[in-house]
Amino acid sequence: MKEARSGVSTSTTASLAAESSDAMFARAGDDDGDRERFLREEMPCSLWCCSAHCSKDLVAQVSPVPRVPSRDICLGLADLTNIQPNFNGVWICVEVRGNMDRFLQEMGLDEELRQEAEHSNYGAYQQRQIIVQSGNNFEIANELKARVVSVFSVGGGVQPSRDLHGRPLLLEPSWDEAGGVLLVRSYTAGMQLIVQTQRYLERGRMVMEISTPAGTTVKRIFEIDAAGSATVSAV
């Protein structure tokens, strides 16, 4: 699934890594002493690329100290870096994709409420999310018609929370196998699945893929809100 989003296949990622490695060893020279010194002092701790996945922009880090990744880290190299995304910031929804009317219908909204949502462009340029993340601990304040705060810990099992309307529900957050996607399943008090959300970063944007139990999936695309503060607490 991640390959389809990033546009970088596993083979392409491996090729980029191999090309970069060959170039670095060529720079080190043929002398065994130079090669040993290169491996000890200059071998990069990780590989990085631009958000457009352009091979000419593949850069090797020569510092032995790992650096903090930017939001534009290539998702195609996530398996190599094994770094979880950083969602901290104030985000505003700038785009909504998918069949929103069918999605809302499957979520139980009547025709009047669905028309109202359509007239408001489904919250585009209105919905904000203020995210405070510390490792696996999250505080997410969702602001649309009202402000609702959700607090949870990834890997902590099923936890009580509230939906966008402030109604109680249960959350089960986890990371995907590669660690680049935050999966959150929402349940009723009786553990009936309501919706599943996948949250990830793509080219500096935050993407939320939201799926109903019936299989309809929509996307909400967020960008950092220049008018907001990334240090705003969600509580």
Checking phi first, is residue 176 left (phi over 0); if not, alpha (psi -120 to 50) or beta?
A: beta
- Confidence at residue 151, expressed as pLDDT on a 0 to 100 scale: 95
- Confidence at residue 132, expressed as pLDDT on a 0 to 100 scale: 98
Decide if 152 contacts 133 (C-beta within 8 A): no
Distance CA 96, CA 172 (A): 24
- Confidence at residue 78, expressed as pLDDT on a 0 to 100 scale: 43
- Confidence at residue 180, expressed as pLDDT on a 0 to 100 scale: 95
Provide the whole-model pTM. 0.65
> In 3-state terms, what secondary structure has residue 163?
coil
- Confidence at residue 76, expressed as pLDDT on a 0 to 100 scale: 44
- Confidence at residue 82, expressed as pLDDT on a 0 to 100 scale: 53
- Confidence at residue 26, expressed as pLDDT on a 0 to 100 scale: 45
The sign of the dihedral angle between the CA atoms of 177, 181, 184, 185 is negative
Domains of the chain: 2-81 (no CATH), 89-224 (2.40.128.20)
Instruction: Report in angstroms the alpha-carbon separations of 157 from 125, 171, 184, 231.
Output: 33, 8, 11, 27
Output the tens digit of pLDDT for each of the chain's 235 residues. 444 444 444 444 444 444 444 444 344 444 555 555 544 444 444 444 443 343 333 444 444 454 444 444 444 444 444 578 999 999 999 999 999 999 999 999 999 999 999 999 999 999 999 999 999 999 999 999 899 999 999 999 999 998 877 789 999 999 999 999 999 999 999 999 999 999 999 999 999 999 999 999 999 999 999 766 544 443 3
